[in-house]
Structure 1
Amino acid sequence: MRLTLRDFTPADEPEVLRLFADCDDWFQAATGHPSGPGDVQSLFYALPEGARDEQKHLLVAEAQGMIGFVDLVVDHPAPHHASIGFFLVPKDLRRWGIGSEMVRALTQRYPAITHVHVRLDEFKPGNEFLKAMGFSLNGQLAVLEIAPRSDGR
């Protein structure tokens, strides 16, 4: 499977809303309610404290159609770090290695990133995935340290 990450465009909104509905388990666990029609638009304004608009990236994962979505803030909370708001894969495609491929694609697209941060909720779906990917879970934060690349990428 060849997976690519590209920037979200307004034309992607209906497909992303379908993905959000399919990932209601995550939304229920993380927010206490299902996703809604305004959730995509609100992502453009949802920034962690100290982040600027130009650091925000909404990404679509594709492999013969859309199969995932990433809400990412680069150079936050520090240079060469990234904060992930969420990382979604449809229920029927989970445990197929797509999340791992999305992480690989993120490291290729943003080679300067050395640490990835994810805020945790106590019972959030995806915490086991984070552990399997090598994230260190510490209270309300999971951090993945990515080895610097010697080839300059």
Structure 2
Amino acid sequence: MKERRTPHVVVIMGVAGTGKTTVGPLLADRLGVPYAEGDDFHPPANIEKMSAGTPLTDDDRWPWLDAIGAWADGRAGKGGVVSSSALKRSYRDRLRAAAPEAVFVHLTGDRKLIEDRMSHRQGHFMPTALLDSQFATLQPLGADEAGVAVDVAGSPEEIADRAVEALSRLG
């Protein structure tokens, strides 16, 4: 697939286990922009909480989202890809307030497939026990939000290719 550059910051979003950390760097490579891992913006207390199987509250998430938003704002006009669950509209609104040019790629898929992938990954702090809370919290992109939904069936490379194609239709 031909590499394309984008001046946009793309937030790759979705519930845990959809492949944000795997697909994000592939998408960034295809778009010719840097990638930032959203989990790296979490304060240690958030990681400890999730590792213990406790869902984060909105108050836990605001500083994390603000840090992601600051990174995205710093990439304005230059482009970038950053992962963030961005499960709620209010979270995406917070990211857009910091980086108005941000567009979202919502990785979606069958819950059984996502749970299976989560159960086979190693070295990640998010337990499969939190998947229910993730789906319960999820508010899919609204028709008025700049973004696209991309199914996670297939290989990471296929998913990244579909994301590039879907983004190209946004203009």
Same fold (TM > 0.5):
no
Q: Which has the higher helix share?
A: 2
Larger relative contact order (C-alpha < 8 A, sep ≥ 6)?
Answer: 2
The structure in which a higher percent of residues are strand is 1
- Normalised by the size of structure 1, how large is the TM-score? 0.35
Question: What TM-score, normalized by structure 2, do the two folds share?
Answer: 0.32
